Amino acid sequence: MKIVLVSRIDDQKALAYTRDLADALLVDEHQVSYEPATARALDMQPAWSWNTPSDLAVVVGGDGTILHTVQQMEKQVPILGINWGEVGFLADLEPEEARGFIKAIRPGFAIEPRMRISLARDGETLGQALNEALIVTSRPAKMLRFVVVVDGIAAERFRADGLLLSTPTGSTAYAMSAGGPIVDPRIEGFLLVPLAPYMLSSRPHLISNDRTVEVRLESAKPATLVIDGQKSIELGKEGSIQVSRASRPALFVDARKNFFRKVDHKLRRL
């Protein structure tokens, strides 16, 4: 198989592990490449680009590294995450079990698609998020005013420090820290979580992705949109963001890790 390796580039041990994994995969007769930043961190000349066809992307890092990888891919390649972070909720394998798992992989391996959300303004796509999009004030200690419109109906009006637009996959990330529910990633919908709302009655909403969802900013303070912690866009003081299901989901190798067992292990046993 054609395998591209992606590593955390700020951790020498992760880079060394990635190099050793590449050597092992070559012994197993796979075609192995490094994505450009990883290649440069290993003092190699990049010979692979994000447009190069691949069968599998193996990512050695935490959730941030995996989110960055998804953002870089225009055409999604199945990802297998090896946890080299803290919680590592998007990474299914620990370093000591990864080689054996990859050695057993055969073409046609099972894939688990993960819904992403697409954000647009005035018909222009701003980006897609696998975990969440955050609308937050550009000025610290200032509140924003939001109107959430569902199928043309103003379903919620509130003031808050910000608003999280999360996928079910992202429900165990920032959204959970902000008081949102844990959502089964097989459910496809939009999770809206206000950040420190002024009124206690402003609660999280889980909305089906076959509805039209719009978030209107009605504030005297400027706001910023942050997508998966990777990309920031200045929104200004007023405007409307359209939220929809992205046409291309992220793809993850099915590592046979039960979601609810993972919740118990990674969150309740820390």
DSSP letters for the chain:
-EEEEEE-SS-HHHHHHHHHHHHHHHHTT-EEEE-HHHHHHTT------TTS--SEEEEEE-HHHHHHHHHH-SS---EEEEE-SSS-TT--B-HHHHHHHHHH--TT--EEEE--EEEEETTEEEEEESSEEEEEESSTT--EEEEEEETTEEEEEEEESEEEEE-SGGGGTHHHHTTPPP--TTS-EEEEEEES-SSTT---EEEETTS-EEEEEEEEEEEEEEETTTEEEEEEEEEEEEEEE-SS-EEEE-----HHHHHHHHHS--
- 63 labelled catalytic: yes
Active-site annotation holder among 11, 20, 55, 63? 63
List CB contacts of 259: < 8 A, sequence separation 6 or more.
Answer: 184, 185, 186
Residue closest to 145 by CA, chosen among 155, 158, 134: 158
C-alpha 189/C-alpha 224 separation (Å) is 23
Measured CA to CA in angstroms, residue 213 lies from 38, 117, 142, 194 at distances of 38, 11, 25, 15
Q: How far apart are CA 177 and CA 64, in angstroms?
A: 16
- Residues known to be catalytic: 63
